[in-house]
Structure 1
Amino acid sequence: MKQSTTSAHDTAAVRDAAPDGAQRQPAPGELADRLEVYRTELTGYCYRMLGSAFEAEDAVQETMVRAWRSHDRFEGRASLRSWLYRIATNVCLDLLKGSRRRARPMDLASPSSVDTPIGTGLPETTWIGPVPDERVLARAGDPADTAVARESVRLAFVSALQRLAPRQRAVLILREVLSWSASEVAELLGSSVASVNSALQRARATLAASADAAPAEPLDEAQQALLNRYVDAFERFDMAALTAVLHEDSTLSMPPYELWLRGRADVIAWMRGPGCGCEGSRLVPLSANGMPAFGQYRADGKPWAIQVVEIAGGRITALNSFLDTERLFPLFGLPMRYEG
């Protein structure tokens, strides 16, 4: 998993050098524009580190504030991009001190049955949350880099990352996703190349033991047709048609609730029973975590969930429904009432 590290803005420090070697300080507006160029990729980095779109955006904002305040001390010894990643890494490591790792429902407990009470929702800090693609993925670029970036923000991969110690997490993302060299990562972390290589080896071993880290299939015409069938079946609440698009071992999860289901039969039974309130829902297409997603509105027009859909083997393998609509619908640019 590799993503290019090149950037047309990395040479800004060289271009701005005065004839005597002193660094020309940019005007405030120019500095703001230069920092803003990196917001999307930094948000993607912080999201992989933290597992929350909201925490990632807060971390990037703190990174920008620290960069703005200390830019007069930035002497161009490294690229502006590398310097920002150093700040962002320190911000994330500070946020992760003493914090509980975020997870998905299937990381915390065995699958429930249809008759299991849904229980009480757990705090938002428990869960890995969804993130809109446009917040963390560049709109244009090399197709191979784009594929790597999409793969590395999948819910399953971000979940696997959370099992790593914070510094191991940073090393793996910088080395395996962003293609930094061991020496660059060592400099950023104030560590040695040997220490970085050791951390990377341990991180790889942890991820290799996680089946969730397996790559997803790229979305093609057949998968798009499958999604169209899913939307049609869900909106008509046709359980026979829904059964036809679900994998036999498909899962249904609903953060902030710990309860989750495994198996097509249980998912359909849930829809017919406790989930019958979804009848008459409308789905608005989105993209989240490099995967297809939908904003789900119930029949009365009120928002119900952000659904992130996973596909493999020509069937839908997971329906991840995130129910924190008050925060998530504005994040995805969705109105708080279905407009048709």
Structure 2
Amino acid sequence: MNDVAQLEAYRPELTGYCYRMLGSAFDAEDAVQDAMVRAWRGFDGFDGRSALRSWLYRITTNVCLTMLSSAQRRVRPMDLGPAGSGRATDAGEPRPDEIWVGPVPDSRVLPERADPAEVVAGRESIRLAFVAALQHLPPRQRAVLILRDVLAWSASEVAELLDTSVASVNSVLQRARATIAAADLGADVHRPLDEEQRALLARYVRAFEAYDLEALTTLLHEDATLSMPPLPLWLSGRDEIAVWMGGTGGGCQGSRLIPVAANGVPAFGQYRPGAGGIGHDPWALIVLDISGGRIAGVSNFLDTARLFPLFGLPNHLD
């Protein structure tokens, strides 16, 4: 295997690491590309005293820490203020892309593994709620938590990577765990072969495409949330969501949904009827959280110009 091929074999897991660190699929790909270039240029000087994987993670971590030193913390609409009203006629002015925790395709960040337990753990650690919670941690705490609790590195390995002591790593990890434990991460892991989840998703697609709001409402948790980045408005409660969908959100009637996999959970590309009734045009990437057999969260990401190509979705449906 040549030098480039050796490095490229690590791209998916490094992209997943950077996505958790940075909260953006686009920033993650930029960070990994930067790290790969640095590694390729310095490959001849790699002396083999550490494993190639550890060496790459050291380079990648430094790239992420540098990017985070000048970046604003990424958030979800729920972090900006209280829930709004489903009767609102204005969802607010769009906020800059740089402030939002964004979605990521599973295929970019979850290397295929034979161990089902590792697949489940990987899906858990890229869920929107978990990645958003990570953004509340200082950058080095973030790195320690991901390396120790997500990637299962030893304290000594993390200490060597960060040029610090094992005692310091353990102290930082304890503080990071306390912050994450206080976050609301309640949702089920997506299991594509789970018959109950498949049936729920099938009912969701039928109800949404028929725009049957009564049927849709029965699929939602009583305290379900709806958000629409880059718009700051978010809603809490199935009644508020139903009011919004029947009013301001009524333009979604006649939509079609194309399934994709995002953040370890079910997701769909939503296409609304095109201008003049010709076909369907991109409207949102819908990412669902499921809990207890119902939908607990609906995140509608409206930046389709960038997200649909990232997820391999067409720019028009005939």
TM range (shorter): over 0.9
Q: Distance in 2 between matches of 1:215 and 1:62?
A: 34
Q: How is 1:100-249 mapped onto 2 (pairs within 5 angstroms)?
A: 100-116=72-88, 117-212=90-185, 214=186, 216-219=188-191, 220-249=194-223
SS in 2 for 1:298: strand
RMSD: 1.1
1:267 aligns with 2:246: no
Indicate how the Cα distance of structure 1 residues 209 and 260 shifts in structure 2: closer, same or farther if over 3 A, else same: same
Q: What residue is the counterpart of 1:250 in the other structure?
A: 224
Aligned length: 310
Gaps of 5+ in 1: 1-28
1:87 maps to what in 2? 59
Contact preservation (8 Å) 2:134, 2:142 = yes
Please report how far the alpha carbon of residue 140 of structure 1 lies from its aligned counterpart in structure 2 after TM superposition: 2.7
Find out whether 1:334 has 2:308 as its counterpart.
no
- The DSSP-based 3-state class of the residue aligned with 1:128 is coil
Match of 1:16 in 2: none
Q: From 70, 75, 87, give the equivalent of 1:98.
A: 70
| Structure 1 ranges of 4+ moved more than 4 A | none
Question: Which residue is 1:295 aligned to?
Answer: 269
- CA apart distance, 1:265: 0.6
Matched, 1:276 2:250: yes
The Cα of 1:151 is off from its aligned counterpart by 0.3
Shift of 1:224: 1.1
Residue in structure 2 matching 1:74, options 41, 46, 56 = 46
Conserved 8 A contact 1:151-1:215: no
User: After superposition, what is the alpha-carbon deviation per residue over 1:180-215, rounded to whole angstroms, capped at 9, x for unaligned?
Assistant: 011100000011111101000000111111123x46
Q: Judging changes above 3 Å, is the alpha-carbon distance between structure 1 residues 179 and 63 closer, same or farther for their aligned structure 2 residues?
A: same
Secondary structure of 1:302's aligned partner: strand
Matched, 1:322 2:296: no
Structure number with bigger Rg: 1
Alignment partner, residue 13 of structure 1: none
Q: Deviations over 1:127-147 (max 9, x none)?
A: 000000000001233111111
Aligned to 2:32: 60
What's the CA shift for 1:299?
1.5
TM-score by length of 1: 0.89
Cα deviations across residues 23-51 of structure 1 (Å, max 9, x unaligned)?
xxxxxx81111111000000000000000
> Partner of 2:277 in structure 1?
none
Q: Distance in 2 between matches of 1:333 and 1:103?
A: 25
- Residue 69 of structure 1: how far off its partner (Å): 0.7
Equivalent in the alignment of 2:19: 47
Q: Distance in 1 between matches of 2:212 and 2:87?
A: 22
Query: Separation in 2 of the partners of 1:98 and 1:84?
Result: 22
Q: What are the Cα deviations for residues 246-279 of structure 1, in whole angstroms up to 9, with x where unaligned?
A: 1111111000011000010111111110001100
Could you tell me how far apart the structure 2 residues matched to 1:218 and 1:246 are? 16
Q: TM-score by structure 2 length?
A: 0.96
In 2, the alpha carbon distance for the partners of 1:326 and 1:59 equals 21
C-alpha displacement of 1:290: 0.1
Deviation at 1:218, TM superposition (A): 4.3
